[in-house]
Amino acid sequence: MRLTIISGAVRHQSKSNTAKIIGAFRQGFEAGGNTTKVWFLSDRRQWDSARAALQTEENVLFALPLYVENVPGILLEFLEGAAADAPPQACGRLSFLLQGGFPEASQSRCCEKFLKTLPGKLGREYGGTFIHGEMFGLSLLGEKRAKAMLKPFAEAGRRFAQAGRFQGADFANLSSPEYLSEKQIRQSRHFRPAQKCLLTVIARRLGCKTRLDARPLIEDTGKIKSSER
């Protein structure tokens, strides 16, 4: 199978979690001799080629981060352009790989609901959405942890190569839990101080010089800075 992958991430390819996820997915997908071609919408010079591929290729996968409960603005901009094009020359599927920062799959259901409607509007069949959360730390927690975090995507690629779509228990098992368990919620409360410490360390390493909960747009009194009124 030949698969066109279009990344809807806003961050440049070199720093993009979605790009890393695509890399892992390709490893699994190509293991059986399948091929992929990837386009990154963060680079607007690639838009024409991505749009042409969307017109002519049978199997297209959009990989994207969850962005304010839906797709990132640049992906929406690309899709609006594609919707204005003539109907695609190839009949085929649009599938979606949706990654989010929060751990629960339920966080991505609002976006998934929108994604389900897109293929019909673009003259395509829906090939399903693979959802995976807890990916925020992918570029921040070190290579060993990142490797473990990417494993499900390589496996999803392998299974996608066989099924041609994201469907059924095979993919549900690889996805994140729908909601946190009671135990996980208790643990998250228990470890909140440690989480804050870890984030502070990461922030300092990135050059942060203030508190992570700083309120730069208001004065201590809680009022908006008068100079900005």
Partner 1 sequence: MKNGSLLVVNTLPKNDPAVQAAIGALTAKAETGEVMHTEDMKIQPCVGCNFCWLKTPGVCAIRDDYEALLRALLRYDTAVLIAGTALGFLDHRAKHIVDRTLPLATMYTHVVDGQMRHIPRYDKRFRFGLLYAGAGEREYLTYWMKRFALNLGGNSLGAFPIEEAGEVSLCV
83 vs 148, which CB is nearer to partner 1? 83
Residue 47, token pair as written in the block: 């838009």
143 vs 213, which CB is nearer to partner 1? 213
9 vs 53, which CB is nearer to partner 1? 9
Between β-strands 125-132 and 2-7, what pairing exists: parallel, antiparallel or unpaired?
Answer: unpaired
Which of 57, 58, 77, 170 lies at the binding interface for partner 1 (CB under 8 A)?
A: 77
Using CB under 8 A, which residues numbered 95 to 134 contact partner 1?
102-104, 106-107, 110, 113-114, 117-118, 121
24 vs 111, which CB is nearer to partner 1? 111
Write the interaction track for partner 1 spanning residues 12-51; mark x where CB under 8 A is met and - where it is not: x---x-----------------------------------
Residue with tokens 């990989």: 63
174 vs 203, which CB is nearer to partner 1? 203
Which of 1, 52, 146, 180 lies at the binding interface for partner 1 (CB under 8 A)?
A: 180
Q: Kindly report the number of other CB atoms within 10 A of residue 45's CB atom.
A: 7
Residue 150, token pair as written in the block: 């990417």
* Distance, CA of 129 to CA of 57 (rounded, Å): 19
Query: Contact residues for partner 1 (CB under 8 A)?
Result: 9-12, 16, 65, 67-74, 76-77, 79-80, 83, 102-104, 106-107, 110, 113-114, 117-118, 121, 179-180, 185, 188-189, 192, 195-196, 199, 202-203, 206-208, 210-218, 222, 224-225, 228-229
